Structure 1
Amino acid sequence: MFHIAVAFDVPAERRAEFVAAALVDGRDSLADEPGTRRFELIADSADPGRFYLNEAYEDEAAFDAHCAGEHFARFFAAVEEYAEGPTWLIRGTRVEEHAVAAG
């Protein structure tokens, strides 16, 4: 499973707009993209202007397909004017116990 996590900083007057755009992106990506496994929007508990997207995909190719898709493009077109980010926090493949044992 391929995981990514990114952060966005959003001005107070645009937070509701950002949340709406991110939730639509997540809902539509999960519905239309077979390789999308998880799409979570997380609000930072200490900074009300910071949001995280925590996403999981079948593999890196599924993430690349998401990035080339219409939902991704629509989200960035909606938020690029005011949101700072994405700042990459995580990008990689989950390490499974059986992979470590096979070593």
Structure 2
Amino acid sequence: MARCFQSVGLTPAEHRDDFVRAARKTGRESVANEPGSYRFEVIADETDPDLFYLNEVYADLDAFNTHADGPYFSAFFAEASAYAEGPKWLMRGTLVGDGVA
């Protein structure tokens, strides 16, 4: 499985609700309509109200690339680029083994 975790900061802060709406919509549409797109979580930082994390899980790197080249990703960044800084990649990798310690 391919996984990525990234941070996105907002400027100006009044776009918080816009960002959350757009990111959650992207996640719902991606998971529902893109084969191999398993998880798309929008996580709010516990101390900074203008900082968010996106936790994404895909079947493999090809599924991630399909998402990155797809319509939901493009629509999200077309909207969010007006008020979001990032994404900053915090982690991008592939699960080793079956996920059991």
TM-score, length of structure 2 as denominator length? 0.93
> Could you say which structure has the higher helix fraction?
1
> Over aligned residue pairs, what C-alpha RMSD do you find?
1.2
Rate the CA distance shift 1:32–1:97 in 2: closer, same or farther, 3 A. Answer: closer
Structure 1 residue 14: Cα displacement: 0.3
The AA in structure 2 aligned to 1:69 is G
| Deviations, residues 8-49 of structure 1 (Å, cap 9, x unaligned) | 001320000000000000000011001101110000001110
- Structure number with greater Rg is 1
Unaligned runs of 5+ in 2: none
Structure 1 residue 97: Cα displacement: 5.4
* Match in the other structure for 2:42: 41
Matched, 1:6 2:6: yes
TM-score, length of structure 1 as denominator length? 0.92
TM alignment of 1:69-88, pairs within 5 A? 69-88=70-89
The AA in structure 1 aligned to 2:53 is Y
Task: Specify the SS of the correspondent of 2:42.
Answer: strand
Q: Which deviates further from its counterpart, 15-24 or 4-13?
A: 4-13
Total equivalences in the alignment? 98
Unaligned runs of 5+ in 1: 99-103
Structure 1 residue 76: Cα displacement: 0.2
Instruction: List structure 1 runs of 4+ shifted beyond 3 angstroms.
Output: none
